[in-house]
A and B are shown apart, each in its own frame.
Chain A
Amino acid sequence: MPNVSRRLLPLVPVVVLAVAILSFPSLAPNPYILSSGIVVLNYAVLATAWNFVGGFTGYISLGHGALAGLGGYATGLLVTKAGMPAFVALIAAAVLVAALAVPLGMAALRVRGASFVIVSIALVLILLLVFQSWASLTGGSRGLVVPRPFPSLLRPEHHRVFFFLYGGLLALALLTWWIVDRSRFGLGLKALREDEDKASALGTPTFTYKLIVFVLSATFTALGGGLYALWFGDLDPVFQFSVLTGSYLVLMALLGGVRSLYGPLVGALVVGTALEYFKGSFGNTPLHLVATGVLLAVVVLVMPDGVLPALAAGWSRLRRTSQTSIREVTAAELRDQRTSAASAASGSARSADSAGFAGSAGSAASGAGATSPGTDAGVSERASAHERSGGGGGKPDSPGRRDQEARR
């Protein structure tokens, strides 16, 4: 029953993830391992939040560390200076950061690409400067101590509670990403990622879409940072507003694959665990920077679409050695497939939309894509993925490809 297995397959990662998060605190041999687990989950939340911007729009932000730091400091200051209850402060901090993200996004997203990255780096540097210098409010380099939200809990219990809180936040972020991914809004974002001019010519309100998704991403990042402040209880501007945090997030997301739901999570598991391991065994050495730098360069140069998609592509190539790009389906078979797909697919109108977008985004690969049976949304997505990774592949000359060559 291929249909049932296809229906159930997406649930497998959900179950695995839920079981892993629910059982890890009981399996962790000591509180230190559990606290490392929290750090990794924190990275997973931040990387998934980063992927709202990075994955959907293709705009790469190196400044998300600053948004997390801002969330952390806002939470801490609202607790200590305004006397708010911890979790009210967390929500209020997220709202504040979201509000701040609007003018930031308006400045950064009005122009394409280069300026966005420059602004994102500048954001980290300027906030570091401000939070270090404004010592009367933020405590400056002495740090800001945030009282624990559950004073009665012992340390291991405290870790356990925060592990589950982070697990919940991660689930919420993943669910939101998934919903956006399937929505019309998500289609518009992907269209502007592929070609902003064409998307805007087709009537996608590109600027508004970019701004909304940036604010969404900032909100989740601030929630992650705020939770970190409540858990860790001590904030230092040097660590909160570090360019390094942003680069870790980029590395995680790129490593796992920015176009997939679980990519940043997997990347965070790999990179976060490695970071914690090396910090535990070797302490903080400058070689961290070297390792991060080299790894980032390798990922960008060799597998810019991520390790997961690269592996998946390799696997499907192995599996489908007999299948060629030439159609070997009779017209009758094709008609059967289409009718069954049309009747089976829920929300078929939406998928038809997506096919239209993929076609207009300069992807002429739909011929190759359409041979594989499946729902049409899946086909068009895969087709455009083929087109994008066509740089080194042996794809025949499609108009999109030629367009790329001409621009080079």
Chain B
Amino acid sequence: MSLVLQSVVLGLLLGGLYALLAAGLTLYFGIMRVVMIAHSAFLILAAYLAWWWHERLGLDPLLSLVVTVPLFFLAGVAMQRLLLARLRAVTLTMMSVLVTFAVALTIEGLLGYAFTGTQRRIQLGYGSAGFELFGARIAVVKLIAFGLAVVSLGALYLLMKRTSFGWALRATIQHRDAARLVGIDTERTAGYGFGLGLATAAVGGTALSLDSTIYPSLHWHWIGPLMAIIVVGGLGSVPGAAAAALLLGLAQSLLQIPLGTTWAQTVFYVALFATLAVRPQGFFGGRLAQRF
């Protein structure tokens, strides 16, 4: 029983991280109909930066957020302006996949070149600390990662709902031409939205670096589950992605008990194929998902 409880807790904590990352992917898709393969490559890049920050400067990896979040925001804006906005509108979805795929390969190659393929892990003073809750043991680092995810998702929610930039962004997602008619600079808004999406990768990467072993090709292990989450959640729906993330994270964690870690990962792909076969527009998707 305590094993199940433990798995539920771990699954929810992991699901929180998935939710944050899937929110980023959903933002890109909503804004530009872009499937951003490089999202998880940026995630690993942020994790490496946090590791490097800890290794070289001796500072807490969480402090690297001060640098990586603005940096990734700018990188996102630049990527939208310089790469994705230049693609032809007709073939945007397909070609954007290729471009972001190329970016992912480049990042993986550069990481391998700069830091070699050796597996890295941050040794933290509080790395092994934890506490008991109803018989389930919770590691502090996992809780911090979850906390980061919740805070960022909350901030994202407030930004989207309460600020005028958020209104402009949601208007751009809902109907680009109409947004332009009411005077929104959709190009700039789309760029900032993209930067916002990439900033979630920075937060996620830092959270990931706290308690995971990282290596350059790790991003392939993340992109599959994340893709499955946004398809199950319905492409373009942030709450849908969050719900699917928690659900699938929980399922993965629970299936690890009978199946082991490797086979438990297949739950994402099974969910992906099942969703496409039964309900291609996803389970929580709105109007956007119908068209893809």
Which A residues form the contact surface with B (CB < 8 A)?
58-60, 62, 106-108, 110-115, 117-119, 121-122, 125-126, 129-130, 132-133, 243-244, 247, 250, 254, 285-297, 300-301, 304, 388, 391, 404, 406-408
Contact = CB atoms under 8 A, between A and B. Distances in A.
B89 A293 contact: no
Interface string B90-110: 110111011101111111111
B276 A110 contact: yes
A290 B98 contact: no
B109 A296 contact: no
A288 B107 CA distance: 12
B30 interface: no
A408 B91 CA distance: 11
B269 A408 contact: no
B228 interface: yes
Given A126-B266, A286-B109, A292-B105, A113 B224 contact: no
Q: Is the interface of A mostly helix, strand, loop or mixed?
A: helix
B227 A290 contact: no
A115 B285 CA distance: 14
Contacts, number: 154
Contacts of A295: 102
- The 9 A-B residue pairs with the shortest CB-CB distance in the complex, in nearest-first order: A286-B112, A289-B109, A293-B105, A293-B106, A290-B109, A297-B102, A296-B102, A125-B224, A126-B269
A119 B273 contact: yes
Interface stretch (B80-88, B125-133, B162-170): B80-88
Contact of A293 (B104, B113, B277): B104
Q: Is the interface of B mostly helix, strand, loop or mixed?
A: helix
Given A107-B277, A296-B98, A408 B105 contact: no
Given A286-B108, A286-B216, A296-B102, A122 B272 contact: yes
A113 B106 contact: no
A119 B235 contact: no
A385 B194 CA distance: 32
B110 A290 contact: yes
Contact of A121 (B83, B86, B227): B227
Contact of A289 (B88, B97, B105): B105
B160 to A, nearest CB: 22
A114 B110 contact: no
Chain A CB within 10 A, most for which of B87, B97, B291: B97
Contacts of A289: 105-106, 108-109, 112
B266 A129 contact: yes
Contacts of B103: 293, 297
8 contacts: A114-B35, A114-B292, A117-B97, A122-B224, A247-B101, A287-B113, A296-B98, A300-B87
A62 B97 contact: yes
Interface of B: 29, 33, 35, 37, 83, 86-91, 93-95, 97-99, 101-113, 117, 177, 216, 220-221, 223-224, 227-228, 231, 235, 262-263, 265-266, 269, 272-273, 276-277, 280-281, 291-292
B151 to A, nearest CB: 29
Contacts of B87: 300-301, 304
Chain B CB within 10 A, most for which of A115, A243, A301, A406: A115
Given A126-B266, A129-B265, A60 B105 contact: no
B280 A110 contact: yes
Given A107-B273, A114-B235, A407-B90, 20 more contacts: A59-B94, A107-B277, A110-B276, A110-B277, A112-B292, A114-B35, A114-B93, A117-B97, A119-B272, A119-B276, A122-B224, A125-B221, A125-B223, A129-B262, A285-B112, A286-B117, A293-B103, A294-B102, A404-B89, A407-B89
B48 to A, nearest CB: 13
A115 B89 contact: no
A106 B263 CA distance: 24
Contacts of A110: 276-277, 280
Given A286-B216, A297-B99, A304-B91, A113 B104 contact: no
A125 B220 contact: yes
Nearest to A291: B109
A407 to B, nearest CB: 5
